[in-house]
Each structure stands twice: as C-alpha cells, then as structure tokens.
Amino acid sequence: MAAAAAAAGLLRQRAGGGGGAAALWRAQRRQRSTFDVAVVGAGIVGLASARELVRRHPSLTFAVLEKEKELAHHQSGHNSGVIHSGIYYTPGSLKAKLCVQGAALCYEYCDQKGIPYKQCGKLIVAVEQDEIPRLKALYERGLQNNVRGLKLIGAKEIEAKEPFCRGLMALDSPYTGIVNYKQVAQSYAEDFQEAGGTILTDFEVTNMEMAKESSSESEDGLKYPVIVRNSKGEEIYCRHIVTCAGLYSDRLSEISGCSPEPRIVPFRGDYLVLKPEKCYMVKGNIYPVPNPRFPFLGFHFTPRMDGSVWLGPNAVLAFKREGYKLFDFSTGDFLDAVTYSGLWKLVLRNLSYGLSEMYRACFLSAQVKQLQKFIPEVTINDVLRGPSGVRAQALDSDGNLVDDFVFDGGSGDIGSRILHVRNAPSPAATSSLAIAKMIADEVKQRFEL
C-alpha cells in the first residue's frame, strides 16, 4: 500500500513538473540514509563503540562512516598486537582502569568468538642496577592497578622463562598476551551489522552542518537535523555524531566547529623482525624498564600470532599522518606539525632522545645494539627491516603529551550534537570494549538517548 501510494505520488508529481519529482527523490534518498547516531571512524575503538551502542539501543538506527575501503586500516591494523595488563599507568587514571577491565573483556570476547590469542606473558627486564628501583616502583604501581599475577623474579628465573634473555631482575606479567587486533575489529563490525547497524566505507567526512529544510521537508529535517557530507558530495542525515577518528580527531573537531586542541602530531614507529630461523630466541614479550624522562617505552621484543617476532619500535616524527614509509611526505601534514608551538616545546625538552631515535632509525646496527642488552646473541645478520605504524599522539600547546582519554563536544546547534573522542592512547586496542562502554555511557548522558 505504502509503495503504491509513493508510486502514485511520483506519477502525479511527474505530471505536475520535474521539481516535485526531484523533491520526492531527495526525500526517498534521505530516508534511506538517515540514522539516529553516526560513528565516524572504523578503527577498533569506533567499531567497539558502535557495537556497544546498537546493543544498548536496538530500537535506534546507527551507521559507521569510514574513509578507507576496508576496516581497521590504520592504527588498529598497524600495531604490535599486545594485550596489555595495565602495569604502566597512573593508579586511578582512566588508562589504568580501562586497560585492566579491557584486557579481561578482550580475553572473554575472544573465547566467545573463537578468535585465537596467546597468553604468552611479558617480562619487563632490568639490565642495569639503576633500573631496579624503577622496576620495583613499577611492580607497586601494577599492584595498585589490580594487575593479575605480577611478581618480581631474579636472573635465574628470567633465564628459565626466556633462555636467551639476560637481566638482573624482571617484572613477570603472565596475564599479558597477543592477538590479531584487525581480526578482533572485524568481529566487532560483524556484531554491529548483525544487530542492524550500517557500515559505509569509502566515506571520507569533510563537512558537518545543520540541515536547512524547506517547509515540505521540515518534519524530517527536525528529526535528522545534521548533514554529514563526504569528499564526493554524498551525504547522510543524522541526529547525533560520535567521532573516533584517531589520526584525524583534531581535524574533525575543527570541521564541526569544536576546539582544535589537543592537536594530533603523528609519530612513526619502525619495527625490525627476526629472521624466521631465529624466532626460537623469543618466547614471550620482553620489554625494557621505561625511563620516566622519555615519553615512549623503548625497544621491545614482541611475538606475533603468525609466529614472527617484531623488534621495536622506535619513535620518530612522521611527515605524513598516514605515512608508513620513511619517505612518505604530505606538505599539509608536515606544515601542520612543524608550525605547532607545542611540538617544538616537546622537541626541545627531549632533544637528545629525539636525535638518538632518528639515528637508530637510519642505522640498523644502532637498533641491534639496543636489542643486545637483553638478548646478546642477536646480531645484525638475524634481523630484517619490518613494518611500521603511525601513532596519533595528542599534544597540548605547552608541549605535554596528553596521556589519558579526552572527550570533547561543543556548543551551538552542531557542537551540542557531537561527541569527539579526541584521544584514545595506547593501550586503546586492549581497552576497546571497556572504552566502548564508557563512550556509550557518555552518549546516553549527553544526547539523552
């Protein structure tokens, strides 16, 4: 009946002139592309959040908008694959709470879905005497964060767990594991779609604005007042937007009229890989004791689900936000980074560290020297250059790394309808299901769903 009435209406409008037919076509097209909530970004955090939202609100309509042709293509598909246990993070911080909760949820989810993982553990190894007090402090921090199974072990126990590793003392974290996060993200997407969600790929969001409806379309315009437009001029209508845009979180915030701070500065991390015939030297994750003077964790040994072993990464400024190769360059991204005062303040505070990282990025022997502190048998002949990832590092105008989760919105017609996930730092993949619950709580509160 409804279809017949629509067809009859279309015939009448055609008889009356092309303008009416065009108006009906626009209304029908918009009806097919209207959603209560649009989630921008199909990385692991965006997909987990969309999954949680559609499960909580089955009567509402949801879409995920992704600029690439495939899902989990950037940070979610270019990471080490470690299921972190929550040792490093400040007690009481969101990072600590969400990591511990997220790790438990991740293991549970993988068991439910039959996604393979390995709970291979991690040793944080002190190789110098002055690292031991920091290692013990890390142990106490882990206990405060309720990390399971932690214990301090000596040199003989290190060798028993990792026969090729040498160290004075180590923090043993048996609950740390590895998984293929791209596979996890794909599973989230399947859950979302099975629950009625829509995923639109190849949809790069370039504009968000309030609809300007004519009187004949005003009722629908009031219900779905936000237009989200992509680089091809295609558009969807929605009531609310949640952005989980990773490397582009600051730019999407600016597009919507919200604050540009904190800014995203991309750091590329280059990995080495052990040659296949040398992978027997590493059983689980082997990490250094982090130096609190420097912002990154340092070189580590990471086994992978496919049996390979990754070594690294370093951390150098990327000249392109999605630049995974040494010579990848974007003039816009480069200028955006180097004209930001916050970056220069960070660089000047960590100049020696930054120069060392750049040196190691260029010379393989310098990277191998770092690895030999833990496994002396590793030689330059045992390693190959491997993949790279780009980390979306949020940075404030004072040059401080934003180390915890940041949610942001705005005021006015558009700003009040948007929730920006401005910073979802490592271990966001581990924490994705816990982050999703928090985002769903925030969405419910802000948008009164």
What does the pLDDT look like over 114-142, one tens digit per residue? 999 999 999 999 999 999 999 999 999 99
Res 221: pLDDT: 57
**Block residue for tokens 């694959």:** 81
Please give the Cα distance from 294 to 229 (Å, whole number): 41
Percent pLDDT > 70 in the chain is 90
Which stretches of 104-197 are assigned E, i.e. beta strand? 117-118, 122-126, 151-154, 169-173, 177-179
**Contact by Cβ (8 Å): 247, 264:** yes
Spatial separation of the C-alpha atoms in residues 402 and 215, rounded to whole Å: 46
Q: What is the pLDDT of residues 201-222, one digit of tens each?
A: 999 999 999 988 643 444 555 7
3-state SS class at 57: coil
- Strand partners of residue 169: 126, 154
Residue 1 has pLDDT above 80, yes or no: no
User: What is the value of pTM for the model shown?
Assistant: 0.89
**Hunting for tokens 């859950």 — which residue is that?**
191
Cα 254 to Cα 369: distance, rounded to the nearest angstrom? 43
pLDDT at site 213 = 61
Residue 357 confidence (pLDDT): 83
pLDDT at position 401: 87
Go through 178-213 and write b for each residue having 16 or more CB atoms within 10 A of its CB, e for each that does not: bbbbbbbbbbbbebbeeeebbbbeebebeebbebeb
Strand runs (DSSP E) across 180-313, as ranges?
198-200, 205-210, 226-230, 235-243, 263-274, 285-288, 300-303, 309-312
- pLDDT tens digits for 336-371? 999 999 999 998 988 888 888 888 888 899 999 999
Q: Which of 157, 179, 158, 20 is nearest to 110 (CA)?
A: 179
**What's the length of the chain?**
449
76-128 residue pLDDT tens? 999 999 999 999 999 998 899 999 999 999 999 999 999 999 999 999 999 99
Cβ atoms of 209 and 221 closer than 8 Å: no
First vs last C-alpha separation in the chain: 32
Q: Check residues 151 and 20 and name the one with the higher pLDDT.
A: 151
pLDDT at 220: 57
Please state, in angstroms and rounded to a whole number, the distance separating the CA atoms of residues 219 and 74. 39
